[in-house]
Structure 1
Amino acid sequence: MPAEPGTNQSVERAVAVLRAFGPDRPQLRVSDVAQIVGLGTSTTSRLLATLEQLDLVERDPVSALYRVGLGVLPLAAVAVNQHPVHRASRMVLQELAARTGLGANAAVRRDDQLMFLCNFEGPRAPKAYTQAGHTAPLHATGIGKCLLSGMSPGERRALLGAELPAHTQHTVTSHEALDAVLEEIRRAGYAVEEEERALGRASVAAPVVDSGGAVVAGVSLWGPASVLNEPRRRAELVREVIEAADAISQALGAH
């Protein structure tokens, strides 16, 4: 792992070790981490030992598997709680989830994926284990399509690459089809996702804009496809999510 010009290789390696852990890899062996980050086992072991002393990772005394330590929690809390979209959307989405009984999310774009900043689950939302920091594909989610709607076709192709992976048989997998969907989102002011990322689930979403009118985030209501696909119910939820997005946009300075 060569260091980038002007950076510190030791810091880069330590961060790479921490980033080896994720929602689908919560616990790892030393050899697993070494393979993921492309370092030798002995180097990886020393890095993990140092991070363990700093409380950034911890090792299970029985299995000897490593996991992220509680020492990262204060840093993560500062990052999330100080983010302007999180501050503006937290109460709005909490009330929205309670009012509709569904799940309410806010997310921003991080490179070629979206990252959730907050998630509230109403009683009718299937348990999804979506948490702050989790990521999801842009082209296969309602929020993601809202985020893409603020970009030009050329920018989207450069960002996403030539191929759009299929997550279900309903996922949009061509840029031409995605262009048409995003044009409709710009016209209507909201997005719909019907079982494109996971079967049985659907969502409606709306873009959040800043004081300059740029799309900086998206919010969504999600739940069982049977609930969101009912025409009268969907119309109500579209109104709810657009109003929530407008309230958050105004808190960010949009007119």
Structure 2
Amino acid sequence: MPSDGSSVTAKVLALLGAFTADAPELTLSELARRAGVSLPTAHRRAAELVTWGALERTAEGRYRIGLRLWEIAALAPRAHGLREAALPFLEDLYVVTRQNVQLAVREGLELVFVERIAGRGAVPVLTRVGGRFTLHATGVGLVLLAHAPAQVQEAVLANPLPRYTDRTLTDPSSLRPALAAIRAQGYAISDRMVTPDALSVAAPVLGRAGTVQAAVSLVVTAADDAPTRALINVVRTAARGISRALGYTHPNPVRSFTG
């Protein structure tokens, strides 16, 4: 959290970072407090951001993220190119299943959802496009963690792992062999590990060089008789299609993403 002695850039970034999914609109006082800057500083910088379009003001005088910032963010190459290549296959997966379809990438020690298609009657999920989540519980997260560099895996396992349900893997001694199994079998299953009513099946998406660039998943209502094999097949088919669209054309072994 910056102080008034921080650079202008740090203060501007702190103001933008003050907004969250739980707090999409803020008063000037809330914005200053959450960003850790003085009220006059927040007023000046917020006015500049409004002029540029990064922030907007509501009729009640509250601040929210502006469309200009969304336009710039949409140009991020990892998300934009991946999303464009993946979307036809995600849509096909949704049409076939009418369930929640998700696409995610790893960013540091977390994952970021870059696309999501929600089934109207599907099980509710705790995800949104642009949202971050831990790597150790969701289907896409487990795939991304399994194929992450060893130092990333160890950094994740060295931190406290949140427990979302009684099925969440939070013990490194249990998680390590689970990650090895995911690498060997080419998919991950998160069965009621995030919410008690959801099952996720995920598979890796490969780039041109055969490295894992992303993960795609299907989230359905958990049940003891869920057609897991059929779900695995359709998810892996979608993942292979996205991989081909990204330029992966030869059967190289899956390698860890090193970027």
TM-score, normalised via structure 1 length:
0.88
Find the counterpart in structure 1 of residue 213 from structure 2. Answer: 216
Inter-partner Cα distance in structure 2 for 1:163 and 1:75: 34
Deviation at 1:146, TM superposition (A): 0.3
1:113 equivalent in structure 2:
110
* Structure 1 residue 183 displacement after superposition: 1.0
2:133 counterpart of 1:172: no
Aligned counterparts, 1:174-189, within 5 A? 174-189=171-186
SS of 1:46's partner is helix
| 8 Å Cα contact 2:109/2:152 also seen in 1 | no
Partner of 2:26, secondary structure, is coil
Q: Show CA shifts across 1:198-252 (max 9, x none).
A: 22112100011222222110000002113xx424x21111000011111111222
Counterpart residue number, 1:34: 32
Partner of 1:136: 133
The residue number in structure 2 matching 1:199 is 196
The equivalent residue for 1:57 is 55
- 8 Å Cα contact 1:124-1:223 kept in structure 2: no
User: Would you say the 8 A contact 1:210–1:252 is kept in 2?
Assistant: yes
Structure 1: segments with no counterpart, 5+ residues: none
Q: Does 1:162 align with 2:159?
A: yes
Q: Distance in 2 between matches of 1:154 and 1:192?
A: 23
Whether the 8 Å contact between 1:57 and 1:66 is mirrored in structure 2 is yes
Which of 203, 220, 234 pairs up with 1:240?
234
C-alpha spacing 1:82/1:234, structure 2 compared with 1 (3 Å): closer
Q: Cα offset for 1:135?
A: 1.4
Going from structure 1 to structure 2, the CA distance change for 1:216 and 1:165 (only over 3 Å counts) comes to same
Q: Is the 8 A contact 1:206 1:219 kept in 2?
A: yes
Alpha-carbon RMSD across the aligned residues, in angstroms, is 2.3
- Residue aligned with 1:140, SS: coil
Q: Is the 8 A contact 1:153 1:179 kept in 2?
A: no
Local SS of the residue matching 1:202: strand
Aligned residues: 247
Which runs of 5 or more structure 2 residues have no equivalent in the other structure? 251-259
What is the rounded CA distance, in whole Å, between the counterparts of 2:233 and 2:219 in structure 1?
A: 14
**1:139 Cα deviation after fit:** 0.7
Deviation at 1:60, TM superposition (A): 2.4
Structure 1 counterpart of 2:20, which letter?
A: G
TM-score (norm 2): 0.86
Give the aligned partner of residue 88 of structure 1: 85
Deviation string, structure 1 residues 62-109 (Cα, Å, up to 9, x no partner): 2x3211122223223333797332122111001101111111111101
Shift of 1:127: 4.4
Deviating more after overlay: 167-176 vs 91-100: 167-176
Q: 1:22 & 1:200 partners in 2: Cα distance?
A: 26
| 91-100 or 113-122, which deviates more | 113-122
**Distance in 2 separating the partners of 1:195 and 1:41:** 45
Indicate the percent of aligned positions where both proteins have the same amino acid: 33
Following superposition, the deviation at residue 132 of structure 1 comes to: 2.2
